């Protein structure tokens, strides 16, 4: 039995699809969701759906009963991840889960990004739990950029504080397929995967978007503090705006860049290219 947390979220949903595509049987998958109402499509596929959230260790333990492998999609609430993730790991221990694959962040053990702190703390807890594990250290999602295209095409600007730093972004679908490959593969040894796709600067992203959209798009670089203020003016809460601006400072340092081909190896093909992904997002 394989459980997937956050199974109705962006990445979780794609991971369930990837597991099915790779031959997992629906009745061997346990989708752990906060709200069963949102999981009707999973039920209709014959997948077992159990309700639990990261705040309740007892419900999590019930949801993990009989589960051998856990694909642990990290929580999305920055600042809350350590207590929430502690609950998941304790529940997995109590339920005698035999393997955990955790979606972490690129270079979690050396990254200076604020976002990396909670991921590293989680990795340490998983290591200390004694449960065999794999850390899926994902770089940025390309969707972090393409989902802003409506505003970008209107304004003609991609804003950021990443200077000429390179980011090794990949699509959520590629990260999900890699996660499925790890969970369905040999899980007898602990493993760390540094995962990233095409590397590009935000100026290069602007150039590709310009060419493919037929509109002039430029990258406007600004100091980190100014970028955080700009995000807040768009309604992004202050704490999250500061984390995003700090992540751009991480891009400058190379925290979200990798030249390792772990993702390509897990996929058995090249990750989706920046060109193809931008093209799809524009049409």
> What residues contact 124, with CB distance under 8 A and at least 6 apart?
none
226-266 pLDDT, tens digit each: 999 999 998 999 988 999 999 999 999 999 999 999 999 99
**Can you name the residues that pair with 159 across neighbouring β-strands?**
220
What was the pLDDT predicted at 76?
82
Closest CA to 57 of 35, 83, 80, 90: 90
Confidence of residue 80 (pLDDT cuts 50, 70, 90): confident
Tell me what percent of the residues of the chain surpass a pLDDT of 90.
Answer: 90
104 Ramachandran zone, left/alpha/beta (phi>0; psi -120 to 50): beta
Judging by DSSP bridges, how do beta strands 29-33 and 48-51 pair with one another? parallel
- Assess contact for 138 and 103: CB atoms under 8 A: yes
- Assess contact for 182 and 193: CB atoms under 8 A: yes
Judged against a pLDDT cut of 80, whether residue 78 lies above it is answered with no
Would you give the distance in Å from CA 74 to the centre of its chain?
8
What CA–CA distance (Å, rounded) separates 111 from 189?
Answer: 24
Look up residue 185 and give its two tokens: 């593969």
Judged against a pLDDT cut of 80, whether residue 79 lies above it is answered with no
Judged against a pLDDT cut of 90, whether residue 66 lies above it is answered with yes
- Assess contact for 11 and 175: CB atoms under 8 A: yes
What CA–CA distance (Å, rounded) separates 104 from 106?
Answer: 7
């Amino acid at each position: 039995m394989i459980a997937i947390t956050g199974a109705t979220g962006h990445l979780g949903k794609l991971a369930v699809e990837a597991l099915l595509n790779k031959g997992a049987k629906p009745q061997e998958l346990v989708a752990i969701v906060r709200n069963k109402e949102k999981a009707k499509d999973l039920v209709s596929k014959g997948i077992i759906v159990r309700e639990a959230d990261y705040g309740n260790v007892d419900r999590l333990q019930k949801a993990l009963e009989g589960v051998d492998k856990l694909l642990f999609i990290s929580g999305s609430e920055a600042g809350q991840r350590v207590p929430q993730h502690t609950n998941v790991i304790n529940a997995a221990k109590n339920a005698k889960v035999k393997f955990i694959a955790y979606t972490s962040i690129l270079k979690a053990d050396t990254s200076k990004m604020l976002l990396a702190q909670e991921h590293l703390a989680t990795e340490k807890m998983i290591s200390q739990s004694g449960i065999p594990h794999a850390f899926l250290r994902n770089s940025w999602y390309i969707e972090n950029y393409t989902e802003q295209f409506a505003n970008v095409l209107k304004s003609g600007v991609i804003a950021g504080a990443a200077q000429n730093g390179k980011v090794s972004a990949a699509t959520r679908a590629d990260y999900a397929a890699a996660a499925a490959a790890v969970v369905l593969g040999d899980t007898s040894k602990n493993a760390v995967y540094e995962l990233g796709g095409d590397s590009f600067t935000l100026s290069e992203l602007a150039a590709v978007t310009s060419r493919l959209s037929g509109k002039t798009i430029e990258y406007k670089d600004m100091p980190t503090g100014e970028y955080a203020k700009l995000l807040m003016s768009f309604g992004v809460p202050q704490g999250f705006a500061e984390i995003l601006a700090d992540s751009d400072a991480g891009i400058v340092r190379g925290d979200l860049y990798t030249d390792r081909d772990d993702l390509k190896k897990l996929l058995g093909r090249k990750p989706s290219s920046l060109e193809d992904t931008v093209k799809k997002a524009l049409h």
